[in-house]
Chains A and B, each alone.
Chain A
Amino acid sequence: MIFSIFYIFVALSAILIVTDMLGLVSKSKKTLFLLNITLLSIIGIVIAGMLAEGMNAAEFGLVSLNSFSLLFALMFTLGIIFVDILGYEETHYQSLLLFTGTALMGAFVVSFSNSVVSIFVGIEIISIATIFAMIQKKKDTLEAAVKFFVMSAIVIAIFSFGMVLFYGATGTVMLVKDYGMSTLLVSMILLITALAFEATLFPFNLWAPDVYQGAPTFATAMVGGINKKVGFVALIEIMFIAFVAYRGVFSNIFYILAVFTMFYGNLVAIAQKNVKRMMAYSSIAQAGYILIGLAVTTGYGIEGSIVQIFMHMLMFIGVMGVVLFMEKRNRNELNDYIGLYSENKLAAIALTVLLLSLIGMPLTGGFVGKFILFSSAVYNNMIWLAIFGIINSVISIYYYAKIMLNMFARKASARIESMGFAIGFVVVACAVLIIAFGIYPQPIIQAAQSAASYIAP
């Protein structure tokens, strides 16, 4: 039964890509948009159907359908739907749809993969699609795209080398549980490096602020929302299935990486004046929090990571929506946000909700994720990790609060501006979802629990 649904899913994805390609030559933006969103929604529903249907793993070929992969496929679909709606006002919208669709395919390949090769292919697809999405005629976007391209190329090389060593040591590319060979360590490190690039962990994330700031805002939403999460998914899959024997080793590695990433992201964000760059650093710090869950290596920790991944995706895309709204009127600096409340109450309130969630205020989704992450660290006797996490949350309050305070200050010449339907929808939807899952997080926690129990029983 699940196979037939999977074939439907593959057929729908193919139809999506073909539609987007045909759309390159179409004139009507609106029809293409509606068609795309409908197809994406149907794909999402099909995935949800598979999720409800097959809680047992089904593997065939290079595809593994289990609660973990299906959950992430669903999340990425939701994320791409939001990104597509967000980018509605861009020029060349048709090509944007193609690129985000392709990126979604890459994300699917990574989620459903059960071998290093498929992860490799998936990351290639999503990187190329992202690079194309970032290209626009302006100077900064081109610079961002080129930087991303160059660093991606280097990282893909490292990943390939790691893959080769993996094959050489184990004789297969499949991720099967519990390899125990000592030569695998170097392979593991190379793979971690490559995926840490994608997931923006410490010494490998220096590209992130430049690329996030330079890229067009919908592409930033995609890179920060989807690419980063794809990196984490791949990391979880590889580490916890193939390298489980080296639990102690990579737990230590992730511990150190997490601490450095959190501090780096939060400390440098304080000094930023450009809001988009500040958000880039904040997403680096959030990646650090997510890594705490991986460092803990228990099922509960992974559950926390999954919850925080979902919440961060919503938060980041929502904030990028507001940033896009302000960018259209050329207000990029912190000081330009003064008086946002008097200009557009909805945007200000939604942004407040999203920022409070990023801080980790209870009753918002961000709190739920952070709570599970820190408590998993404490349960596993990694108290210092939790303490560092909390210290970082406190540090982060500073720069989030700067935005909030500016928003509610009064400005002399405030004119009422409207967010436009597309951006408004995404921002409000993200804020509402964050509050809803903050008040009643049980569905997400449940789903994350079943996903984590597949990975780390």
Chain B
Amino acid sequence: MFAIIALLPLVVLTIAIALLREGSRYLKYVALAASVTPLLLVPWLLGSIGTMQSIRWLTVGTYTLHVTTMLLPLNLLLFILVSIIAPLVVLYANGFMDKLSEDRRFYIEILTFQAAMLVFSIAGNFITLLIGWSFLSITSYLLIGFWNHKENAPGAARKAIITVIIGDLSILASAAIMFTTFSTLNFLTIISDIGGNFVASGPFYVAMVLLLVAVLTKSAQFPFQEWLADAMEGPTPVSAFLHSSTMVKAGTFMAIILFPLFVAAKLSSLMVLFGGVTIVIAISNALVNKNIKRVLAYSTMEELALILFALGVGAYAAAIYFFVMQTFYKALLFFYAGTVIKGNEESEDLENVRLYRGNRLLLAIGLIGTLSLAGFFPFNGFFANIMVESSLMSNTLAYAFMLLVDLGVSFFIIRWFVLPLRKVKNAAMLHKLSFSFAMLDKKMVYASTILAAITLAAPLGSIYIIGAIKGMNHYGYAAAVPSSELLDMVVEMLIVLAGIYFAYYLFYKKGRRIEKTYWLFNNSTAFNAFYRYFADFIYYLGGAAEFADILINEYFDKIGFKTAKLGGYIRNIETGSVSLYVIALIIGLALLIVGVLV
């Protein structure tokens, strides 16, 4: 259980924070130290790559349930990824969260989330997966609704938890079916069982469809996508951590780790379908949304859908590469958005916020993130996009789709970037703006800078990522090396440049606003209305159940009262006189003798 031991300092320090006085001003530094510890312990884990360890958890009769961790190259990759992002997010949060009284609650929840994500990343069987997954859902709920005085936050948190819990239950049901089909819950064992001559049966399909549902709910894909946009009610560090780089990617990570199972159940076309539909929904929403964080949320949705889409068409390695690269630039963009929000007195309206252009560092950071997302040349997003598209070049329809997607992406992200960069007309406002940006807590800037540097340097780590992908071949994963085509590179750059030019021209130079086409592209309200109709429908169905419930309640109340009264009668046996007790003893003895001998 070496991998679990790597989490021990984190857990211990989290408990220590729970015991600290609320409002202590050193709490956030303890939290920072806690979140760095897994990263420091990574070299120790490097020694046990490719191993799997399990401990017996519960033995019931002949069944034994284990808690298993596995350290395949992919697991270690995600572990390192989370360990890098987490301290940066906590550092950012040290600067961002300015109310000391909220600190203890916030950091406990963030650190628990980090521990849960790390447990999830090294999960070797369904039980460990479930433990990590459930904690992810709960901490996500707690963190989205963190500012519970905000008007929309509790509702958003509820929406998130209800959607994600559907996934939790699906995994539970799927694990139960897997247990009966394979009599083990261990991933590697199941994957090698599939590899032999395995005949897929009905229950197996059901189990895999349930797993797909879990992937869709966690990663906010159609039809479960609405919770992600509303999840932006949480503080920005939460959005940067959970809802861009780690938690929502847990769903796609499960799809990646269990990919042979999905292939065996022939669900690839479903993945392509759901991925493709979500891409369209996400881009269309992102094009017109007026909230700085929601655009990023829709963009995350689009990227996750892209990963799912790539998995569905079989571009396994490209999906993993994209998975890794997206983490960095997404978190970076959220950091940038957070600084802009802070500098504009917590306003999130894209049309009204302004970046103080004198702050060149922030400008550069934002530019790095934006160009990475758009897929501009030497930034990591470019290589990620290339990998995905090159795998699709054989299928013209899919390739054309991807090119359109790229155009849309670069269009909306450049719109998102240049809108706050417009000139501020009023000199007094400019002065105020410069002041508030100068007053930004420096920790936020440090975190953003470090992350920007990592994002810039990320393509240099491609060797390790490709090595990790190739390493997965030993364990039953057919992972081909991703390809990259020169033609594709050229086409990509052209498309991106086209998107940049159009967006820049429309929104910066001309200062256009999106009013007329808003109704066409913004489908989020339509989906929310659909959710409401569905919920109302279930509620009416529940009316019948409610009637039965009332009846049953009355019946059980009566039974309860009678039971209590019965207890009141029986208690009279205890008179307190020893003679009665002795008589009862003798009578019991006599009854036993008679009963046995007769």
Binary per-residue interface labels of chain A (142-168) against chain B in the complex, 1 for a CB within 8 Å, 0 otherwise: 000001001100110010000000000
C-alpha spacing A270/B61, complex, angstroms: 34
C-alpha spacing A155/B589, complex, angstroms: 11
Chain A residues with CB under 8 Å of B585's CB are 151, 154-155, 193, 197, 203-204, 206
Check A203 against B593 for contact (C-beta < 8 Å): no
Q: Closest residue to A182 on the B side, CB-wise?
A: B597
Check A300 against B61 for contact (C-beta < 8 Å): yes
- Which listed residue, B58, B587, B593, B597, touches A441 by the CB 8 Å rule? B58
A-B contact pairs, 22 of them (CB 8 A): A151-B578, A151-B581, A151-B582, A158-B589, A185-B597, A186-B593, A193-B588, A206-B580, A206-B585, A264-B570, A267-B570, A268-B573, A268-B574, A270-B568, A272-B571, A379-B61, A398-B560, A441-B58, A442-B55, A442-B59, A445-B58, A446-B59
Q: Closest residue to B589 on the A side, CB-wise?
A: A193
Q: Which of A178-209 contact B (CB under 8 A)?
A: 185-186, 188-190, 192-193, 197, 202-204, 206-207, 209
Check A186 against B567 for contact (C-beta < 8 Å): no
A107 CB to nearest chain B CB (Å): 23
- Which listed residue, B55, B57, B567, B595, touches A270 by the CB 8 Å rule? B567
Check B592 against A193 for contact (C-beta < 8 Å): yes
Check A442 against B57 for contact (C-beta < 8 Å): yes
Check B589 against A190 for contact (C-beta < 8 Å): yes
A369 CB to nearest chain B CB (Å): 13
Binary per-residue interface labels of chain A (249-276) against chain B in the complex, 1 for a CB within 8 Å, 0 otherwise: 1000100000000001011111110000
- Which listed residue, B566, B576, B597, touches A267 by the CB 8 Å rule? B566
Q: Which of B387-441 contact A (CB under 8 A)?
A: none
Q: Closest residue to A149 on the B side, CB-wise?
A: B578
Chain B residues with CB under 8 Å of A64's CB are none
B565 CB to nearest chain A CB (Å): 9
Q: Which of A202, A267, A445 has the most CB of B within 10 A?
A: A267
Check A268 against B570 for contact (C-beta < 8 Å): yes
Extra contacts, 15 of them, besides A206-B581, A270-B564, A449-B59 (Cβ < 8 A), are: A151-B581, A154-B582, A189-B592, A193-B592, A204-B584, A204-B585, A204-B588, A206-B574, A206-B584, A269-B567, A271-B568, A371-B60, A375-B60, A440-B57, A445-B59
Chain B residues with CB under 8 Å of A158's CB are 589
B292 CB to nearest chain A CB (Å): 42
Chain A residues with CB under 8 Å of B592's CB are 189, 192-193, 253
Chain B residues with CB under 8 Å of A192's CB are 592
Q: Which of B547-587 contact A (CB under 8 A)?
A: 560, 563-564, 566-568, 570-571, 573-574, 576, 578, 580-582, 584-585, 587
Chain A residues with CB under 8 Å of B563's CB are 267, 270, 395
Q: Closest residue to A202 on the B side, CB-wise?
A: B588
Please give the residue numbers on chain B whose beta carbons come within 8 Å of chain A beta carbons, in ascending order.
55-61, 560, 563-564, 566-568, 570-571, 573-574, 576, 578, 580-582, 584-585, 587-589, 591-593, 595-597
Q: Closest residue to B64 on the A side, CB-wise?
A: A442
Summarize B's interface: helix, strand, loop or mixed: helix
CB of A84 within 8 A of chain B? Answer: no
5 closest A-B pairs by CB:
A203-B588, A267-B567, A270-B567, A206-B581, A271-B568
CB of A70 within 8 A of chain B? Answer: no
Chain B residues with CB under 8 Å of A371's CB are 60
CB of A20 within 8 A of chain B? Answer: no
Chain B residues with CB under 8 Å of A266's CB are 567
Check A268 against B588 for contact (C-beta < 8 Å): no
Q: Which of A352-380 contact B (CB under 8 A)?
A: 371-372, 375, 379
Binary per-residue interface labels of chain A (441-455) against chain B in the complex, 1 for a CB within 8 Å, 0 otherwise: 110011001000000
Q: Closest residue to B560 on the A side, CB-wise?
A: A398
- Which listed residue, A150, A186, A442, touches B578 by the CB 8 Å rule? A150
CB of A210 within 8 A of chain B? Answer: yes
- Which listed residue, A151, A193, A271, touches B567 by the CB 8 Å rule? A271
C-alpha spacing A249/B593, complex, angstroms: 11
C-alpha spacing A199/B587, complex, angstroms: 18
Check A186 against B597 for contact (C-beta < 8 Å): yes
- Which listed residue, A189, A268, A375, A395, touches B593 by the CB 8 Å rule? A189
Chain B residues with CB under 8 Å of A449's CB are 59
Check A442 against B567 for contact (C-beta < 8 Å): no
Check B596 against A268 for contact (C-beta < 8 Å): no
Chain B residues with CB under 8 Å of A150's CB are 578, 582
Check A210 against B576 for contact (C-beta < 8 Å): yes
